[in-house]
Amino acid sequence: MKLYRFLSGDDSSAFCHKVSDALSKGWELYGSPTYAFDAANGVMRCGQAVVKEVDGSYSADIKLGDH
């Protein structure tokens, strides 16, 4: 089955590390990154979708970060 995650965070090195960590665990980039201004908090926010093929069947109880 294919799993999907959307990673998001403030525009900082921490966000880049979050995406790099997912890539190091076998996740693959899916689509283009997003970048938007969060007016409520006065910061830029980033987002990136990632996907991964794993064995098994889908269940809403799956903890995506564990894969």
Q: How far apart are CA 34 and CA 54, in angstroms?
A: 26
Residue with tokens 């799993």: 3
Provide the domain count of the chain. Answer: 1
pLDDT at 67: 81
pLDDT at 64: 86
pLDDT in tens, 15-63: 999 999 999 999 999 999 999 999 999 999 999 999 999 998 888 888 8
Q: How far apart are CA 28 and CA 37, in angstroms?
A: 25
Dihedral sign for Cα atoms in the order 28, 67, 47, 13 = negative
Q: Long-range contacts of range 31-35, CB-CB < 8 Å, 24 or more positions apart?
A: 35/11
Kindly state the tokens that stand for 39. 């007016």
The model's confidence at residue 66, banded by pLDDT at 50, 70 and 90, is confident
Range of the domain at 11: 2-54
pLDDT at 37: 97
pLDDT at 39: 96
In a domain, 59, yes or no: no
In a domain, 28, yes or no: yes
